[in-house]
Structure 1
Amino acid sequence: MENSSNDAKQKFSARYKEINIEDNQWPSSEDKLSRQKEIENLTPLLINAQAPLVICLDAPWGAGKTTFVKLWSHYLRSLEIKSLYLNAWENDFADDPLLPLISTFDKWIAAEDEDSTARAAWKKAKKFVPGILKSSAVAAAKAASFGILDIDKELEKLAGDVVGGAVGDIVDSFNVKQKSLEQFKSQLSVALEALPDDQNNLVIFIDELDRCRPTYAIEMLERVKHLFDLDQIIFILAMNRDQLGKSIQGVYGASFNGAQYLKRFIDIDYQLRTPSIKEYISARLDEPEISGYFKARKEGRYDLEHIIELMAYLALRFEYTPRDINQLIGRLKLIFRSIPHNHYLDESIIVPLLVLRQENPQLYTKYSKDALCANNVIEFLSGKKIGEGALEHRIAVMFGYLIAAAKDPYSNQSMEEVLAPWIKWSKTLTEIADASQVQSELQRAVNMVIELANGDREFRMRRGLNELAFKRIELAGEINFS
């Protein structure tokens, strides 16, 4: 099947793009997971809290911590409250996490007037940095200052002596570092005068800490605790606390309590609200490349809504994490890329079979060879035997397609055995409806399965429906998205 020229130009991105908020409007159009109230309720804590303070923003991987932090920073900006942002993972190539922290401060203070008290104090604070840095970072700072270090010659020499072993006594080495630390913190406190007159605390967001090298994450926490434990500074650390605790345990050994270790650095824990599965899927499918694809389709709005319903149903059934959902959407994007706008999308076949291939490869292979086992597939995907539980309309459409795809519209193949349990279920529901004189939603859904399964007209021009779906799924199924 050849793509049209327009389809061929359709771009595919394997990564989810980070939000970029340029205006000062609140609520933000980028708030896809309804975080507005959560952010507004948390903000008074920042404004009124007694610093120093370290807050852990805890959530599983993929639950939207980065987006939350950026929306929160955006909200603070709309209130004219100054905050700083540091992505720890993007900077874990640094020998010492102090360098990116210093750089983040430097970009803020650099906006101050040249002759301001804050800028003068910060200039002095940076002179003491070499005495605090790790030895390898001092060497790097000498080679290239990254535009942030204003190193006094005597302090540079002193720092070099410390790391080079020229200081004969280890106590002298310790005293140098301690003095550098004291002077750095003293000057940093003065530099905080750059805060607006009506703002008590500087808010510093550190994101993606749990994705860093464990040793780097530990050093970042220690730098925050020992160098920036000052009045007027509040840190918000976005992380999966459980995962980071396990990473730390991996560094220190199985008997080490990583979770207890983190308590040394964190004053307040906040568990980020986990969005509903459907809410999360809708947000992930609201990317320009996906929404643009569906806008170009004749039935695009219905197709997209149907996919969201199917994915939500199956994700709940198999207890998918955000990472699992991202994997599934990544594969779907590849499949969308292979289907021109004017061709059938067949999401009622493709979505469940993608999940089936992941969750039960043996049953997937069996169905690919003989789709008359469709009821086995349906029972596995639903977790119920036919004749039990509720059945929503869009899910009934999916089940009907899975059965209908087993039928060759050009043959006299019998579907009686496959449809027998559905017909029995329909008769039972009919008897109940006759007694109550009300046709239930469940009865209509069951009848929908039977109608689609027998829908010769619906599938007459789509011979080989399953075969084409399997080819697309096999291509996408071999690729993992992290």
Structure 2
Amino acid sequence: MRLKTLPVKVDPDSIYENDRLRRKEYVDNLTVLLSNVEAPLVLSINAPWGAGKTTFLKMLHANLASQKTNAVYFSAWETDFASDPLLAFLGEMNAFLSSQLQDSFGKRAWEKAKSAGGQILKRVVPVAVKVGTAGVIDLEQALEGEASALAGALSNDLIESYIKNKELIDVFKENIIKMLVGTEENEGLGRLCIFVDELDRCRPTYAIELLERIKHLLDIPGLIFVLALDKTQLAHSVKAVYGADFDAAGYLKRFIDIEYGLPEPDLDVFVDYLFDHNDFEAYFRSTGMQDLQRDGQSLRSSMQLLAKSQKLSLRSIEQLFTRLKLLIISTPVSQPFHPDITLYLIYLKEFDRLAYEGFVVGGSEAQRSIDLIPKVFSSGYESSEMVHQFVHAEILSAQSSKDPEWVKLQIEGLKRLQSEGTELSQYYAGRVIQLYEYHQGIRSRVRIQPLIRRVEMLENFQM
């Protein structure tokens, strides 16, 4: 069984082959928009971390490229080692344009723009060093003449740098425009869409500098930026630089023209994909044991229900799968796995420690773990009642060796409900009793100590 979930691959020749979240319609709609909207434009694809932005962005990039629209993709997070985002931009652009620019006019324009960009980068460092040095010099102890000369030199340097940088920026922009839009005599390359992924994962200063470079240097006709980000996390980065009271949301609006909220995925489909992609079905089937094969089907239903009930992010679902894989791999095939209660305890341990500790202590302290079942696995979804019954019965089976008298009282209460309750509660109580009796068999008994040891073992792993 594969432990690590592999990244989703987007094949340019079969873009939607691995579209497990069924987002083709949204990609197609945005492709039409980006093909026709007037540039310049900055569009953000906004969604929480772990919601599938990277795969969506790669499909959008590949779809545009397949329709002969110039498109460049790069991960901001993978380039934030660069001293300046402009350097990363020039490098990614150069790699793309070297194969796209066929005519000498476009190549000359790009070389001039690249040269101007390189000079802008060179001029930023010396001035920054001089300004930084001034901050550590004690001017009060320096001679008045020397202090005055230093201040004057710094002022001249800054003014000269400003004028020179302004000239270089103009040259940079003019040649990018020539390359894309062209002139009366020469046809340009056409619009260029630049996809910037994982901006919210960059170090705060780099993310802000990248936004500012886009706004001040790259607000150019023919140029479209598509930024994948979690606006909430990016706002935290802005506040980390400018202070907790800074209006981060207002600041970000200065740079982004249109915000597109990524639609929520179909979590049933995503769980199905992870279940198959990570060989769960193959593993349970390969055992040749009927009980374990039923465990596999049950685990799929429980995971789907938990994901929808708790509105888990795609990343959180992946991490839950990784935890379960660790437990499955470390559990001998000869031992029952009990996926429903295992998944439930993993969740409680992280999100309701009181209920988890009550289960460990046992007896009446375990009542909270029973009471929370409908909340963790919300009712109203298909298979919810089945999962409730399985988890309830497995908790009673696990506790039967720890406090048999308490479990006996629980079964008596269920029997009263079976005879006196509503039609639905009668069925529920009867089913829990039936499953409990099944789990009291030698082969299927839920043994509490091995179960707890397996769940506790996860603390030794960092996901």
Aligning the two structures, in what range does the TM-score lie when normalised by the shorter sequence?
A: 0.7 to 0.9
CA distance in 1, matches of 2:296, 2:104: 56
2:434 to 436, 447, 451: 451
Answer whether contact 1:354 1:477 (CA < 8 A) is retained: no
Is 1:474–2:462 an aligned residue pair?
no
Partner AA of 1:76 in structure 2? L
Alpha-carbon deviation of 1:45?
1.1
Change (3 A) 1:295 1:126: farther
CA distance in 2, matches of 1:391, 1:198: 59
Matches within 5 A, 1:34-433: 34-112=22-100, 116-133=104-121, 168-192=156-180, 201-288=191-278, 290=280, 292-294=282-284, 296-298=286-288, 302-318=294-310, 320-340=312-332, 343-370=335-362, 374-383=366-375, 392-408=385-401, 415-429=407-421, 433=423
Partner AA of 2:42 in structure 1? V
Partner AA of 2:456 in structure 1? E
1:18 to 4, 7, 30: 7
For each residue in 1:163-210, what CA deviation from the matched residue of structure 2 results, as whole angstroms up to 9, or x when unmatched? xx899453322121111111111222232269xx99952111111111
- Superposition RMSD in Å: 3.4
- SS of equivalent to 1:313: helix
Partner AA of 1:296 in structure 2? S
Question: Which deviates further from its counterpart, 54-63 or 462-471?
Answer: 462-471
Answer whether contact 1:310 1:395 (CA < 8 A) is retained: no
- SS of equivalent to 1:477: helix
Question: Which deviates further from its counterpart, 213-222 or 447-456?
Answer: 447-456
Alpha-carbon deviation of 1:309?
2.5
Change (3 A) 1:414 1:104: closer
Q: Given the two structures, how large is their TM-score scaled by the length of structure 2?
A: 0.82
Alignment: residue pair count = 429
CA distance in 1, matches of 2:331, 2:12: 36
- SS of equivalent to 2:246: coil
Alpha-carbon deviation of 1:391?
5.5
For each residue in 1:456-481, what CA deviation from the matched residue of structure 2 results, as whole angstroms up to 9, or x when unmatched? 6x631355622211111111134342
Alpha-carbon deviation of 1:332?
1.5
Change (3 A) 1:29 1:444: farther
Partner AA of 1:12 in structure 2? L
CA distance in 1, matches of 2:309, 2:14: 38
The percentage of aligned residue pairs carrying the same residue is 31
Q: What residue ranges of structure 1 are gaps of 5+ in the alignment?
A: 1-9, 140-164, 434-439
For each residue in 1:27-46, what CA deviation from the matched residue of structure 2 results, as whole angstroms up to 9, or x when unmatched? x1211111111111222210
- SS of equivalent to 1:111: helix
Answer whether contact 1:249 1:256 (CA < 8 A) is retained: yes
Change (3 A) 1:341 1:108: farther
Answer whether contact 1:46 1:201 (CA < 8 A) is retained: no
Answer whether contact 1:348 1:402 (CA < 8 A) is retained: no
Answer whether contact 2:50 2:316 (CA < 8 A) is retained: no
Q: What residue ranges of structure 2 are gaps of 5+ in the alignment?
A: 128-152
Q: Given the two structures, how large is their TM-score scaled by the length of structure 1?
A: 0.79
- SS of equivalent to 2:260: strand
Change (3 A) 1:40 1:113: closer
Question: Which deviates further from its counterpart, 127-136 or 231-240?
Answer: 127-136
Answer whether contact 1:118 1:193 (CA < 8 A) is retained: no
Change (3 A) 1:202 1:115: closer
Alpha-carbon deviation of 1:105?
0.7
Alpha-carbon deviation of 1:368?
2.4
Question: Which deviates further from its counterpart, 220-229 or 287-296?
Answer: 287-296
CA distance in 2, matches of 1:388, 1:109: 54
